[in-house]
Amino acid sequence: MTILRFAQILDLRFSDFELGLDLSNRQEFAYALIRLVDSDILKSFADSKVLTRTAMPALNESDLYHYRIAFDDHGTYDIVCTSVEVSYERVAA
C-alpha cells in the first residue's frame, strides 16, 4: 500500500471526471502523483499575496508545491502544500 502524507495543506480541490469541469494546467495529467511546476494555482497564490494576510506569514510562495493525483473512474485531486512524504507499507495477503 502506498501512503501519501501532505504537510500544511493550503488548498485542496477535487474535480469529478463525470462533471466535465476544467482543470487548471490540463495538459499536466497522469494517473499518478505528479508535481506541477508552472502552476496556475501557485501563480494565483503569488499574485494575491494571500500568505501575508493569513495565519501563515512565515511561509513564502516559494515554499509551496502543487501536486496532482488522478484515479480511474473517480476524479482528480489538486493539493497545494509545503511538502509530501511517500511511504510504502506491506499489506498481509
Nearest to 70 by CA among 7, 26, 37: 26
Share of the chain above pLDDT 70, in %: 80
Partnered with residue 7 across adjacent β-strands are: 83
Distance (Å) of CA 5 to CA 9, 11, 67: 10, 14, 12
- Higher model confidence: residue 82 or residue 17? 82
**Which DSSP symbol is given to 26?**
T
Q: Where are the beta strands (DSSP E) in the chain?
A: 2-7, 11-16, 34-36, 65-71, 75-81, 83-88
Confidence at residue 80, expressed as pLDDT on a 0 to 100 scale:
93
pLDDT (tens digit, 9 = 90+) per residue, 33-43?
A: 999 998 888 88
Confidence at residue 85, expressed as pLDDT on a 0 to 100 scale:
96
